[in-house]
Amino acid sequence: MKILLTTLNSQYVHSNPALKYLYTVTADTSADIDIREFTINNETSYIYGEILRANYDIVCFSCYIWNIEQIKALASDLKKAKPNMLICLGGPEVSFDAHIFVADNKWVDMILCGEGEYPFFRLCQVLRDPELPLNTVPGLVYKAGGKIYVNPQIEPMDFNCIPFLYSILECEQDKVVYYESTRGCPFKCAYCLSSIDKSIRALSLDRVKADLGYFLYKKVMQVKFIDRTFNYDVDRAYEIFKYLIDNDNGVTNFHFEICGDLLTKNTLKLLETARKGLFQFEIGIQSANPETLYEINRKENIYPILYNVEKLMAMGNIHIHVDLIAGLPYETYELFGRSFDKVYNLGADAFQMGFLKVLKGTPLHQRSEAYGLVYREKAPYEIISNRWITADELARLKRIEKMLDIYYNRHGFENSLALLLEKLDVSPFKLFEMLAEFYYEGGYQHKNRKKEEQYRILLKFAQKHIDADEAEKILEKDLAETLNPEEVKRFLKKGWEI
């Protein structure tokens, strides 16, 4: 029985830890298993040909909101080409209402729901031994004799019993390495699938230090913790931060998703001693509106988070990424603008405007009718409108998001943005709203543009509102701080006309 574990990652530098876990727990068996990771940017015909050429008996796809539509088309074609090939799915995108998914998609043979290590190990045993029945595989949803069967799930395994991902697999030097020291989340954010987890399970500190020591030894470029809230246990987080600071190899960067208001004075003092570039923090603020925060089961007081982010930014040694989510309950267009202003004024290294995804299985999905949620039928199920914000307003926010990405997150326009805010005497949200209106009315959105073109577009916008010479001078300052002298010379020789 030849088995393929595969997925479509969103980018080449990404990797899929779920596949590695499944491979690792079956390594001591006689199963013939391959791992192949593709991306959503690969041509479907290429992936189809690669899988077909290897003549697998069973193909297992790891499914998420960013790849499910492509997997559907790919798996359907594979089934047409080889009707005897078994198609097995797993992952968060197919773990809820799996029996409906199987009924609606005739090409699916089975779905493994929930955590897959032991269920996949058991499935491999059953597939090799015809005398073992499929109903002994926990969490398996499958078709047999024209019927769909749903096996009950079991309690998750002791996390410490699951082998280290790279105990037998090679660590990819050219990709982000994903690592989890905990599973589950103590918080119950209504829009998040982690809100369903009943508990949080952590690896022992000795195990974590040993695992991280391997990454430090291998000098990988980045280790991205996929713990939902890394610092839920303040003392545990402190110990891991300290271990990484004390054993820093001068190369590896560690990315964490943390809760900003859980940072203590002791932790902040420790973090001040970290090498610049050692740590990268992602802090989900999501909204600054108290009514919204209460409704989505987050703490209502946003100010401790804002205060601690300001502290982190003042240190200057940690890359800080902050998030807002548009389309949440009780947040109008105007209230979102206020949230935007509070977060923008933190001056974080990256500021992501996300849009609500109405995910199956979440509390928010269950309340969708009460909230008047209208969202796209296909993944990633992005919000279209709700009771508090219209489709047109969300479309406006999409345009503002594009401006934020070009002129804030890509950097190189800091002086110009600061001058515009001062001279126009408007809020950050209003400035980006004005910039979006100018950009789209000018038709600049119709093609991808190089960064130097964005400087020229910003000058045209600035000249409509402030002194032309002053605008050009400040943009030249941004150019000088962003490009090397030769690039600046070439830019100025070409001129400011777009």
How much is the average pLDDT of 61-72?
A: 96
pLDDT band at 208 (very low <50, low <70, confident <90, very high): very high
pLDDT of residue 16: 94
Q: Is the pLDDT of residue 28 over 80?
A: no
Q: Is the pLDDT of residue 197 over 80?
A: no
The pTM (predicted TM-score) of the whole model is 0.93
Report which of 212, 191, 209, 207 is spatially closest to residue 255, judged by C-alpha positions: 212
Percent of the chain surpassing pLDDT 70: 99
How much is the average pLDDT of 464-491?
A: 93
| Residue pLDDT, tens place only, 187-196 | 889 999 886 7
pLDDT band at 367 (very low <50, low <70, confident <90, very high): very high
| Residue pLDDT, tens place only, 312-340 | 999 999 999 999 999 999 999 999 999 99
Task: Give the CATH H-level superfamily of domain 2-150.
Answer: Cobalamin-binding domain (3.40.50.280)
Cα distances from 250 to residues 220, 222, 313, in angstroms, run: 11, 12, 21
Q: Is the pLDDT of residue 225 over 90?
A: yes
pLDDT band at 13 (very low <50, low <70, confident <90, very high): confident
For the CA atoms of 232, 208, 21, 135, the dihedral, rounded to the nearest 10 degrees, stands at -60
Lateral strand order in the sheet of 253-258: 177-179, 222-225, 253-258, 279-286, 319-326, 350-355
| Residue pLDDT, tens place only, 391-401 | 999 999 999 99
pLDDT of residue 345: 97
pLDDT of residue 333: 98
431, 417 Cβ separation under 8 angstroms: yes
Q: Hey, what long-range contacts does 351-354 have (CB within 8 A, 24 or more apart)? A: 351/321, 351/322, 351/324, 351/404, 351/408, 351/409, 352/321, 352/322, 352/323, 352/324, 352/409, 353/324, 353/326, 353/397, 353/400, 353/401, 353/404, 354/323, 354/324, 354/325, 354/326
- Listed in order, the ranges of the chain carrying CATH 3.80.30.20 are 170-389
What is d(CA 186, CA 70) in angstroms, rounded to the nearest whole number?
Answer: 33
* Structure tokens, 438: 């100018």
pLDDT of residue 174: 81
Q: SS in 3 state form for the chain?
A: CEEEEEEEECCCCCCCHHHHHHHHHCCCCCCEEEEEEEECCCCHHHHHHHHHHHCCCEEEEECCCCCHHHHHHHHHHHHHHCCCCEEEEECCCCCCCHHHHHHHCCCCCEEECCCCHHHHHHHHHHHHCCCCCHHHCCCEEEEECCEEEECCCCCCCCHHHCCCCCCCCCCCCCCCEEECCEECCCCCCCCCHHHHCCCCEECCHHHHHHHHHHHHHHCCCEEEECCCCHHHCHHHHHHHHHHHHHCCCCCCEEEEEECHHHCCHHHHHHHCCCCCCCEEEEEEEECCCHHHHHHCCCCCCCHHHHHHHHHHHHHCCCEEEEEEEECCCCCCHHHHHHHHHHHHCCCCCEEEEEECECCCCCHHHHCHHHHCCEECCCCCCEEEECCCCCHHHHHHHHHHHHHHHHHHHCCCCHHHHHHHHHHHCCCHHHHHHHHHHHHHHCCHHHCCCCHHHHHHHHHHHHHCCCCHHHHHHHHHHHHHHHCCHHHHHHHHHHCCCC
Q: Is the pLDDT of residue 59 over 70?
A: yes
52, 22 Cβ separation under 8 angstroms: no
pLDDT of residue 198: 62
* Structure tokens, 409: 């997150």
Q: Is the pLDDT of residue 67 over 70?
A: yes
Q: Is the pLDDT of residue 175 over 90?
A: no
pLDDT band at 498 (very low <50, low <70, confident <90, very high): confident
What is d(CA 204, CA 199) in angstroms, rounded to the nearest whole number?
Answer: 16
* Structure tokens, 241: 């931060």
179-200 in b/e form (b: 16+ CB < 10 A) is bbbbbbbebebbbbbbbbbeeb
| Residue pLDDT, tens place only, 430-473 | 999 999 999 999 999 999 999 999 999 999 999 999 999 999 99
What is d(CA 441, CA 354) in angstroms, rounded to the nearest whole number?
Answer: 24
pLDDT of residue 194: 80
Q: For residues 360 and 268, which has the higher predicted lDDT (pLDDT)? A: 268
Q: Hey, what long-range contacts does 270-274 have (CB within 8 A, 24 or more apart)? A: 270/238, 270/241, 270/242, 270/245, 271/241, 271/312, 271/315, 271/317, 271/318, 272/315, 272/317, 273/245, 274/241, 274/244, 274/245, 274/248, 274/317, 274/318
pLDDT of residue 180: 96
pLDDT band at 226 (very low <50, low <70, confident <90, very high): very high
| Residue pLDDT, tens place only, 101-119 | 999 999 999 999 999 999 9
Of the chain, the end-to-end C-alpha distance in Å amounts to 60
Q: Is the pLDDT of residue 156 over 80?
A: yes
Q: Is the pLDDT of residue 361 over 90?
A: no
Which range (221-230, 243-252, 298-307, 381-390) has the least confidence?
A: 298-307
How much is the average pLDDT of 478-488?
A: 92
447 contact partners, CB below 8 Å, separation of at least 6: none
What is d(CA 65, CA 357) in angstroms, rounded to the nearest whole number?
Answer: 9
Which range (271-275, 440-444, 488-492) has the least confidence?
A: 488-492
pLDDT of residue 30: 74
* Structure tokens, 416: 């110009």
- Residue 258's φ and ψ, nearest 5 degrees, are -125, 165
Write down the mean pLDDT value for the chain: 95
What is d(CA 278, CA 248) in angstroms, rounded to the nearest whole number?
Answer: 8
Which CATH number does 170-389 carry?
A: 3.80.30.20
pLDDT of residue 27: 84
What is d(CA 492, CA 2) in angstroms, rounded to the nearest whole number?
Answer: 61
- Residue 232's φ and ψ, nearest 5 degrees, are -60, -35
- Listed in order, the ranges of the chain carrying CATH 3.40.50.280 are 2-150
